[in-house]
């Protein structure tokens, strides 16, 4: 733990001294100034030994088990710039883990290594506007094998970080007649500049379209051709790969959300202690505000322990896949539980800030816009609650049909 504490000290110091001062550029939408500034900070992160903290040491990472990386993710989550600064931002972090586990030599050279070096970014194309994302077996995007190439047709949106990405990991139906609905889709590595790939638009999230890794895109695939060798993993294995990617990803998300909570909590306490209702009577003297502070402290701490316990269960298993199977209920539970804590803490912090909370003078409004989606992506809360409820009932001998 001493080694982890040293890493956390470096991360926290780096976040506060180097990244928080750059938040104004992000909140003002000045990406022309932000991107070169972040390139400089990414170089500093390398020099500090913080690069790729989510990866094994033999791939240039810190070699941290999932529960320890979770602590690092929380520290980085205190600023929207944290994860990108050390090259473990979504969706690249999950794509790196997928490629490490399933890419062949050619795919590693073309797609994985540029991500590891930070020379390229990637995106993940799964969600479609025509279908509910809560049922990934229903998908209209197709890929058919034509000689030595896959030809893709389809429509995706909320393809995070497409703007400026070098390639997209696309989920597409390759075997529509397979008896098993979970064996119909595959994953393909699609260069974003391939002919037939159209960037329709960046999606305005509550009025904020963002740029780069801070954006979500709508894309169309119209006869896009990629080499047959761009199939990632086994044909028909897309759903299993997606599940493999999402388990650790939910740990990453939950700990990042807790980093947001801690920063929002600090801002709330500082504002409550300094904003006066009348001379000598700050907001913190009000019982309602004290209740918000107390409830937030308890909820954040409880959520952290729950997530780290789930991460430990996964990390101690023989493999990530087996760990996810053993912690399936916990993974679903932490997803909706921490998303709820995040929403409540942000709402309380914004309320304490009053009119200031509505402005982009602090990161609260940014997070309030963008993190409302926490209850939707990676499976909506309602689906995860059903998973937990069904498993608890089944454990008591009650079989509940879908």
Rounded mean pLDDT, 79-103: 95
278 is written with which tokens? 């009348």
CA distance 226 to 233: 15
Return the closest-CA partner of residue 159 out of 202, 206, 111.
202
Least confident span in 264-268, 297-301, 320-324, 357-361 = 320-324
Residues 303-313, mean pLDDT to the nearest whole number:
94
* Position 136 pLDDT exceeds 80: no
The whole-angstrom separation of Cα 129 and Cα 158 is 9
Q: What is the pLDDT of residue 243?
A: 82
Name the band, by pLDDT with cuts 50, 70 and 90, for residue 320: low
CA distance readout (Å), 239 to 168, 204, 219, 289: 16, 28, 21, 45
Query: What integer pLDDT is reported at residue 401 of this predicted model?
Result: 72
Do 198 and 219 contact (CB within 8 A), yes or no? yes
Residue with tokens 């990390």: 315
| d(C-alpha 51, C-alpha 44), whole Å | 9
- pLDDT value of position 259: 97
Domains for the chain: give ranges and CATH numbers.
2-103 (1.10.540.10), 122-232 (2.40.110.10), 239-395 (1.20.140.10)
**Residue among 168, 97, 96 at smallest CA distance from 127:** 168
pTM of the predicted model as reported, rounded to 2 decimal places: 0.93
Question: Residue 402's pLDDT is what?
Answer: 67
Mean pLDDT to the nearest integer, 204-216: 91
Q: If you average pLDDT over residues 337-354, what whole number do you get?
A: 98
């Amino acid at each position: 733990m001493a080694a982890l504490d040293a890493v956390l000290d470096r991360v926290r110091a780096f976040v506060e001294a180097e990244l928080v001062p750059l938040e104004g550029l992000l909140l003002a939408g000045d990406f022309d100034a932000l991107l070169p500034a972040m390139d400089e900070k990414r170089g500093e992160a390398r020099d500090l030994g913080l690069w790729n903290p989510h990866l094994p040491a033999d791939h240039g990472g810190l070699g941290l088990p999932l529960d320890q990386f979770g602590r690092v993710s929380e520290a980085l989550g205190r600023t929207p710039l944290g994860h990108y600064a050390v090259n473990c931002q979504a969706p690249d972090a999950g794509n790196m883990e997928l490629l490490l586990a399933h890419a062949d030599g050619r795919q590693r050279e073309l797609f994985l290594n540029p991500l590891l070096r930070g020379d390229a970014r990637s995106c993940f194309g799964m969600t479609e506007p025509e279908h509910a994302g809560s049922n990934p077996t229903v998908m209209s995007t197709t890929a058919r094998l034509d000689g030595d190439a896959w030809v893709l047709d389809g429509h995706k949106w909320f393809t995070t970080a497409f703007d400026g990405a070098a390639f997209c990991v696309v989920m597409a139906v390759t075997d529509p007649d397979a008896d098993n609905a979970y064996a119909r889709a595959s994953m393909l590595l699609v260069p974003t500049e391939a002919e037939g790939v159209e960037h329709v638009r960046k999606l305005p999230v509550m009025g904020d379209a963002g740029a780069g890794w801070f954006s979500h895109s709508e894309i169309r695939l119209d006869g896009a051709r990629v080499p047959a060798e761009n199939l990632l993993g086994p044909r028909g294995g897309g759903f299993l790969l997606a599940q493999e990617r999402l388990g650790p990803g939910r740990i990453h998300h939950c700990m990042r959300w807790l980093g947001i909570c801690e920063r929002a909590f600090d801002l709330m306490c500082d504002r409550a202690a300094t904003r006066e209702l009348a001379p000598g009577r700050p907001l913190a003297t009000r019982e309602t505000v004290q209740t918000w502070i107390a409830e937030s402290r308890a909820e954040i701490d409880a959520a952290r322990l729950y997530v780290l316990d789930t991460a430990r269960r996964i990390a101690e298993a023989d493999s990530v896949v087996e760990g996810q199977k053993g912690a399936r209920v916990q993974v679903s539970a932490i997803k909706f539980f921490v998303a709820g804590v995040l929403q409540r803490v942000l709402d309380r912090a914004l309320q304490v800030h009053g009119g200031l909370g509505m402005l982009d003078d602090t990161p609260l409004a940014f997070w309030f816009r963008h993190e409302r989606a926490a209850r939707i992506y990676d499976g909506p809360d309602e689906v995860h609650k059903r998973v937990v409820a069904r498993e608890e009932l089944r454990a008591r001998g009650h079989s509940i049909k879908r």
